[in-house]
Amino acid sequence: MILLHFRFILLQLFRIPAFLVPTVLFPTMLYLFFGGPNGGDLIDAQFPLGSFCVFAVMGVAFYQFGVGIADDRGSPWESFMRVLPVTLFQRFTARIMAAGVIAGLAILCLGIAGWSYGVTFSFGTWFGVGLALLAGTIPFCLFGVALGYLAPQKAAVPIANLIYLPLSFLGSVWSHPDSLPEGVAAFSPYLPSRMFAELVWAAIDGRFNLPQLGWLALYAVAAFGLCVWAYRRHESRAYT
């Protein structure tokens, strides 16, 4: 049942190129404009590539979960799904798998863009970065689910942008932490986006950032609680 629902979601996404193409290519476009090396040290240029991988995964989490769930809530298909023999766990697992495919495509595009600049990772570094991306994605997927059940259908995209883009800037995903304004730099390390980036930067450097992983786990617990509350709120309003 999970694989069947996963296949349905992928078919649905690939039939909407207006959603799929920008989600996959937008991080690469920004990387080519702002993140690529400009004659500097290619070792230092590995860190912006990791940062834009974080940006890509965050985008998939907010749009595939937040916007996707908000859209589903407003469709007759959502009501029909409630009478089918599929559980909420199966549906969310299938959606996570589909999000992994879309995120993988976005990271592949970033890897090709980095390679065109001469920026690349070893297989071992890619493996570590992949694990860091996987771990850091969890709280953002959960926040996306909560957004999907809280935001009105027509407002989901602008609300997702109002959360996703400021988190990326304030978390120093687009730039080096030293370039942040002084006021922003004071609270940036406490944001989940900055912790996610720190986790990936550590993986690029061959380290394991346990403190950041612990803080992200706390964010994930808080996001899970918000998800449960948002889902129950939706259920009580829509089906009682």
Residue 221, pLDDT score: 92
Residue 47, pLDDT score: 86
Residue 98, judged by CB atoms within 10 A of its CB (0-12, 13-18, 19+), counts as buried
Local confidence pLDDT in tens for the 240 residues of the chain: 889 888 988 888 888 887 788 888 989 998 888 776 655 555 667 888 899 999 999 998 888 788 888 888 877 777 777 777 778 788 878 888 888 888 889 999 999 998 888 888 888 889 999 999 988 888 898 898 889 889 888 888 899 989 999 999 999 888 888 888 888 888 999 999 999 999 999 999 888 888 889 999 999 999 989 988 988 888 787 776
Name the residue with tokens 């979601």.
Answer: 9
pTM of the model: 0.87
Nearest to 95 by CA among 59, 66, 119: 66
Characterize 25-53 residue by residue with b for buried, 16 or more Cβ atoms within 10 angstroms of its Cβ, and e for exposed.
Answer: bbbbebbbeebbbeeeeeeebbbbbbbbb
**Do residues 136 and 216 lie in contact, with contact meaning Cβ atoms separated by under 8 Å?**
yes
